[in-house]
């Protein structure tokens, strides 16, 4: 090393060890990739194989022909083939079917309009009288449900009026009508028409006496001074047509000819009724004295109860209303049908003008029919003309203090 020109000897390493190392690494990587791929294929094959389940109820040894192994399990059934879905062919509707459906719709519309014309209007406002009737009915029902006994001092007629009032309030009658089937309403008329002696106080009232007496069943002939019209309630006046004598021997004049009769009639008439119930409450004598009769009935000359003279059944109004109603219904039906022509809009529905015209015709027809239908339920009007002859039937003994005597003839 002392000589500067002397070189140091070096050795150069060969390249084959490097190639060997690279080849070994490559081989190891290839073996590793092969192993991974082989294991993946094996797992896939095992997954594809059908699982075989062992059943515990089958013996491992067959008993058919001695000792031996059991038969292998039966193969699994093959899956059923999937059938293809049926092919549905869609066809367009026939234009004739569309026109037939439109005709059916028009026919249904006309039928609905006719039904609306014939149906009554039921919308109404409750008035104060109806509310009062409802409250009175509730009070009567509560009093009845309490089970309170009637007062022994109460007259049977008052009790009957109370029961009849409760029945009318709870019976659902409308329009001021009462139940025609309630016959006791007519029978209670005379009880309602009774007038107490306290309403007429006169010093000339004839007191009780056994000698001058008109017994029950005595007939007082009379004739009407005024008339009767059953459309409205009212009072009536009549005049005694003949002298009435005592029942015992007929020698004493009790009711003179010309005495005035004061009474009341029943204006609540039902359909088909032709006679008017009349009750007489008072006899006023020519000298100014009076006596109370307490609702004694009136009968015709033949003895039939009530008066019968003229009956107005209002046939002209009833049949005239029916004729007008038929004309209105037919006109409304024709109007509804005429405003629904076949040439409607493109989508098959009527136009706005057609709808408005149809609604107007329907409403006008319904309103007119409802107005005319009121003339179909008209009660008959009973009329008794002045001069009608009748009899008053005495239902209680009439006892007088003395026979009648005109005071202007006294000396």
- Pair of tokens at residue 367: 């309103």
To 10 degrees, the CA torsion angle through 123, 125, 131, 133? -60
Cβ contacts of residue 321 below 8 Å, gap of 6+? 372, 373, 375, 376
pTM: 0.46
CA distance 372 to 328: 10
Strands 244-245, 253-255: pairing kind: antiparallel
- The predicted pLDDT at position 252 comes to 87
Average pLDDT, the chain: 72
CA distance 160 to 154: 10
Q: pLDDT tens digit string along 125-157?
A: 445 555 565 566 556 545 544 544 445 445 545
Tell me the average pLDDT across 220-227.
Answer: 94
- Pair of tokens at residue 155: 């007259």
Element (H, E) at 245: strand 244-245
Could you tell me the sign of the dihedral formed by the alpha carbons of 99, 100, 101, 107, in that order?
positive
CA distance 250 to 137: 53
Calculate the alpha carbon distances from 251 to 190, 214, 215, 404 in Å: 32, 12, 15, 12
Q: Which of 34-48, 161-175, 283-297 is the least confident region? A: 161-175
Flag whether pLDDT at 174 surpasses 50. no
β-sheet bridge partners, residue 291: 283
- Pair of tokens at residue 68: 């031996």
Which candidate, 300, 267, 295, places its Cα nearest to that of 282?
295
Give the start-to-end residue ranges of the domains of the chain.
131-147+154-187, 195-314+378-405
Cβ proximity of 403 and 253 under 8 Å: yes
- The predicted pLDDT at position 138 comes to 58
Q: pLDDT tens digit string along 349-386?
A: 667 777 777 777 777 777 777 777 777 778 889 999 99
Flag whether pLDDT at 175 surpasses 70. no
The DSSP symbol for 246 reads: -
* Higher-scoring residue by pLDDT: 392, 252: 392
Q: Which of 103-112, 114-123, 270-279, 319-328 is the least confident region? A: 114-123
Fold for 195-314+378-405, please state it: Lipocalin (2.40.128)
Element (H, E) at 33: helix 16-48
- The predicted pLDDT at position 109 comes to 77
CA distance 208 to 397: 10
Burial class (CB in 10 A: 0-12, 13-18, 19+), 72: exposed
Using pLDDT thresholds of 50, 70 and 90, give the confidence band for residue 50: low
Using pLDDT thresholds of 50, 70 and 90, give the confidence band for residue 408: very low
Burial class (CB in 10 A: 0-12, 13-18, 19+), 387: exposed
CA distance 116 to 184: 39
């Amino acid at each position: 090393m002392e000589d500067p020109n002397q070189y140091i000897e070096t050795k150069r390493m060969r390249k084959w060890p490097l190639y060997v190392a690279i080849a070994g690494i490559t081989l190891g990587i290839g073996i590793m990739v092969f192993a991974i791929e082989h294991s993946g294929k094996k797992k896939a094959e095992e997954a594809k194989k059908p699982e075989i389940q062992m059943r515990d109820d089958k013996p491992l040894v067959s008993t058919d022909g001695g000792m031996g192994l059991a038969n292998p399990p039966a193969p699994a059934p093959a899956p059923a083939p999937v059938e293809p879905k049926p092919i549905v062919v869609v066809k367009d509707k026939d234009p004739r079917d569309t026109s037939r459906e439109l005709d059916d719709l028009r026919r249904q519309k006309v039928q609905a309009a006719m039904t609306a014309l014939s149906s009554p209007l039921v919308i109404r406002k409750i008035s104060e009288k109806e509310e009062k009737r409802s409250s009175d009915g509730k009070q009567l029902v509560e009093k009845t449900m309490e089970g309170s006994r009637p007062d022994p001092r109460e007259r049977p007629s008052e009790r009957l009026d109370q029961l009849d009032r409760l029945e009318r309030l709870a019976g659902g009658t409308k329009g001021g009508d009462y139940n025609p089937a309630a016959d006791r309403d007519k029978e209670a008329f005379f009880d309602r028409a009774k007038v107490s002696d306290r309403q007429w106080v006169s010093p000339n009232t004839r007191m009780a006496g056994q000698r001058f007496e008109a017994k029950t069943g005595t007939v007082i002939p009379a004739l009407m001074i005024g008339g009767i019209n059953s459309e409205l309630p009212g009072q009536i006046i009549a005049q005694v047509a003949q002298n009435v004598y005592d029942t015992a021997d007929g020698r004493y004049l009790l009711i003179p000819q010309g005495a005035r009769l004061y009474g009341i009639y029943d204006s609540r008439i039902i359909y088909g009724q032709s006679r008017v119930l009349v009750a007489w409450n008072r006899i006023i004598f020519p000298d100014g004295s009076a006596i109370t009769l307490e609702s004694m009935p009136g009968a015709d000359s033949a003895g039939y109860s009530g008066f019968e003279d003229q009956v107005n059944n209002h046939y002209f109004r009833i049949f005239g209303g029916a004729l007008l109603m038929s004309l209105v219904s037919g006109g409304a039906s024709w109007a509804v049908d005429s405003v629904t022509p076949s040439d409607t809009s493109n989508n098959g529905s009527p136009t706005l003008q057609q709808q408005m015209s149809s609604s107007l015709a329907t409403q006008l027809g319904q309103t007119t029919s409802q107005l005319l239908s009121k003339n179909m339920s008209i009660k008959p009007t009973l009329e008794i003309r002045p001069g009608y002859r009748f009899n008053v039937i005495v239902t209680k003994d009439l006892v007088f203090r003395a026979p009648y005597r005109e005071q202007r003839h006294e000396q």
